[in-house]
Structure 1
């Protein structure tokens, strides 16, 4: 049973990583113009400040590119911090990644990651609904 569960978890994680644009700290530094001296500094600070999350995969943290706004030099979109606050203590980083990558009926069968920048209030509301236990069918 554990073997099947481990395989399913690995498949789910690979699907999530393949479903969206995930970036390493070094890649964020390249596109955002931060100092390359210690590339993980700024993304790690954002994570510590609750402004972004990252999923660990093979010893590397991957940050959600869909949450970085090109209009602000690839800083985390403000709505992400609001969603992270809603889920704090309820979902780990992989749980967050699964939620953002999954079709959500509260969002008209769209994925939260696809609406985070264009309709941030709806994404925050969908997170609040999930925490409140609202069932969508």
Structure 2
């Protein structure tokens, strides 16, 4: 089941290699990979690893700021830190979310980051009974 879920996520077309991002963002040839990897190390973006290759989420890159990580993504990653691994985060972004009115977080990240952050907080809070 896990293999099928990973295959579905990867085949969605929402994933880019480091080199693809570097070309899209117009980074110089001398150090194509440094920026995306720095973003990952600084927890501004996440990757999923498949067959030894890191894949970055295309939906998390904001073309209006030069294909840099979306402004709200670091906050979402902070909410999930220690609670979800990278694949768990990828599944969450790709899944329909009732807190977001049946939309996927990845579809709202660029335009409505505050709603996506709130949905992430709701996800980790879980059901609260009173």
Q: Same fold (TM over 0.5)?
A: yes
Which of these residues, 108, 114, 118, is aligned with residue 125 of structure 1?
118
When the two structures are superposed, what TM-score results if normalisation uses the length of structure 2? Answer: 0.94
Structure 1 stretch displaced more, 57-66 or 30-39 = 30-39
Residue correspondences, number = 128
Give the root-mean-square deviation of aligned CA atoms. 1.2
Task: Say yes or no: does 1:82 pair with 2:75.
Answer: yes
Residues 20 and 101 in structure 1, CA contact (< 8 A), matched pair in contact too: no
- Superposed structure 1 runs of 4+ greater than 6 Å apart: none
1:71-114 Cα shifts (integer Å, max 9, x gaps): 00100011000000000000111010000000100001110000
1:20 CA displacement: 4.5
Structure 2 unpaired stretches of 5+: none
- Provide the rounded CA distance (Å) in 2 between the counterparts of 1:134 and 1:76: 30
Structure 1 unpaired stretches of 5+: 1-7
2:11 alignment counterpart: 18
When the two structures are superposed, what TM-score results if normalisation uses the length of structure 1? Answer: 0.89
